Amino acid sequence: MTDPIKLVEALFYQWSHSKAETIVPLPESGSYRRYFRIQAGNQQVMGVYNSDNRENQAFIYLDQQLLATGNRVPVIYADDLDRHVYLEQDLGDITLLDYLADVRKEPESDEKIRQVYRRVIDAMPGLQIHAAAAIDYSVCYPRAEFDVQSMMWDMNYFKYCLLKPLRISFFEQDLEDDFQKIVHWLIAAERKSFMFRDFQSRNIMLHNNELFFIDFQGGRKGPLQYDLASLLFEAKTRLSDEIRQDMLNYYMEVFGRTFTWFDADEFMEYYYGFVYLRLMQAMGAYGFRGYIERKPLFLQSLPYAVKTLTWLMQNKPLPLNLVSLPSVFEKLIHQPKIKEYEINHDSFTVTISSFSYKNGIPQDNTGNGGGFVFDCRALNNPGRFDEFKELTGKNIPVMEYLEGQADVSDFFLNSLKLVEQAVFLGQP
């Protein structure tokens, strides 16, 4: 039995002694894990399938340690790692990102945003420090510590999954030398806390008016700065400069009064370096998911990330003598293709593109799965006639020829009916 639905269904029956009434797959996200909402009577849990058992083992172990030290993370009810599945607490569907989208529609939204971020930061001493002492980091996945290798992986992710697909030119050795300089600088930062690793809004849930934290499979020993950088400089949350600064100040206030050893000056010495590093990692992830896995929804975050990068370069330049990376950043900031991924959610846009099948269907950058593809190869192609060979569909003679073809008119009207039905479906 290898069907993930059947596997989580079997584990649910083994755990609850009840047959699942409904099993609903959740939409896929940025990971290879598959989630299923399982319901039977008053019981509702999440079933998880992940073929990578080392990651499963790390998550379950870290979950136990975080729970034991008073952190709000999902309870693991049962697991069958031989079959790559486990059951965990269902924390609902409202992420911090969802909350931000809703609260921005309300009056005094900035203060409400500050309030929820203060609550997140209030939880960070427990996550980063109180949990750290009892953790056996050798269990962590894929590395025990956020070390030189981890940093180089992040920057090479950026290089190969974003710069290369965008065809941004650079001299490989110079860029590699710059990466080495950054690592040599940041590796001097204290790395004794638990680093959540992907501490961003989609991994913070609001459930029963409490905050819960999920998806810490990649957690390991690391610097305090990285998780705060992940939280405050996440592209899609679009926090203002003022709110980011306020929350940075609040974090240092919380840690300063909670831990006598906390040194704000030392923290700030490396903080923006980790902001750059996290931003490169995130942009590499957008490129990997968007260009390589062809999940265009992730590319919509690139314009926000580039705006953040622009602000960083103008206000917090890296304090290093770098040869290649600054010019690479400039090329990225001025890359015209990035603007294609900007989505105006307050308007409705219909895009019409012509294409050649031998070159492939145009990529959908909206993230909503695309629309219609009409195969026009059955129609007479004006390009086959000598008088039209040097012309395009924007030239009047070609337009007049096509408008005079009955089969073209029928094809257009039939296609238009399909599109209109989709556009106006459900409208009064």
- The residues with which 22 forms a beta bridge, in sequence order, are 39
In angstroms, rounded to a whole number, what is the distance separating the alpha carbons of residues 266 and 304?
29
Arithmetic mean of pLDDT, 210-220: 97
pLDDT surpasses 70 at 391? yes
pLDDT digits (tens, 9 = 90+) for 8-60: 999 999 999 999 999 999 987 767 899 999 999 999 999 999 999 999 999 99
pLDDT at res. 369 = 57
CB 298 within 8 A of CB 341: no
Q: How confident is the model at residue 328 (pLDDT cuts 50, 70, 90)?
A: very high
Q: How confident is the model at residue 393 (pLDDT cuts 50, 70, 90)?
A: confident
pLDDT at res. 400 = 81
CB 193 within 8 A of CB 134: no
pLDDT surpasses 50 at 373? yes
Arithmetic mean of pLDDT, 248-267: 98
The values of phi and psi at residue 122, to 5°, are: -60, -30
Q: Which two tokens stand for residue 291?
A: 């260009």
pLDDT at res. 32 = 86
CB 110 within 8 A of CB 145: no
Q: At what angle do helices 264-287 and 241-258 cross, to 10 degrees?
A: 130
In angstroms, rounded to a whole number, what is the distance separating the alpha carbons of residues 24 and 39?
9
In angstroms, rounded to a whole number, what is the distance separating the alpha carbons of residues 302 and 341?
7
SS (H, E, C) 175-228: HHHHHHHHHHHHCCCCCCEEECCCCCHHHEEEECCEEEECCCCCCEEECHHHHH
pLDDT digits (tens, 9 = 90+) for 302-322: 999 999 999 999 999 999 999
Query: Could you give the 3-state DSSP secondary structure of residue 416?
Result: helix
pLDDT at res. 426 = 45
Arithmetic mean of pLDDT, 361-370: 60
pLDDT at res. 159 = 98
Give residue 367's region: left, alpha or beta (phi > 0; psi -120 to 50): left
pLDDT at res. 1 = 56
Q: How confident is the model at residue 364 (pLDDT cuts 50, 70, 90)?
A: low
Residue 219 identity: G
Domain coordinates in residue numbering, the chain: 4-89, 96-339, 372-424
The lowest-confidence range among 112-126, 252-266, 349-363 is: 349-363
pLDDT at res. 217 = 95
Any long-range contacts for 170-174 (C-beta under 8 Å, 24+ apart)? 170/324, 170/327, 170/328, 171/324, 174/323, 174/324
Query: Which is it for the CA torsion 351, 357, 358, 360, positive or negative?
Result: positive
The values of phi and psi at residue 36, to 5°, are: -135, 130
pLDDT at res. 143 = 95
Please indicate whether the domains covering 4-89 and 96-339 agree at the CATH topology level: no
Q: Give the chain's mean pLDDT.
A: 92
DSSP letters along 350-385, please? Answer: -------GGG-PPPP-SSS--------TTS--GGGS
In angstroms, rounded to a whole number, what is the distance separating the alpha carbons of residues 151 and 232?
19
Higher pLDDT, 387 or 94: 94
In angstroms, rounded to a whole number, what is the distance separating the alpha carbons of residues 302 and 283?
7
Give residue 209's region: left, alpha or beta (phi > 0; psi -120 to 50): left
Q: How confident is the model at residue 392 (pLDDT cuts 50, 70, 90)?
A: confident
pLDDT surpasses 90 at 245? yes
Query: Could you give the 3-state DSSP secondary structure of residue 18?
Result: coil
Arithmetic mean of pLDDT, 370-380: 81
May I ask the CATH class of domain 4-89?
alpha beta
The CATH H-level superfamily of 96-339 is Aminoglycoside phosphotransferase (APH), C-terminal lobe (3.90.1200.10)
pLDDT surpasses 90 at 111? yes
pTM for the full predicted model: 0.82
pLDDT at res. 428 = 44
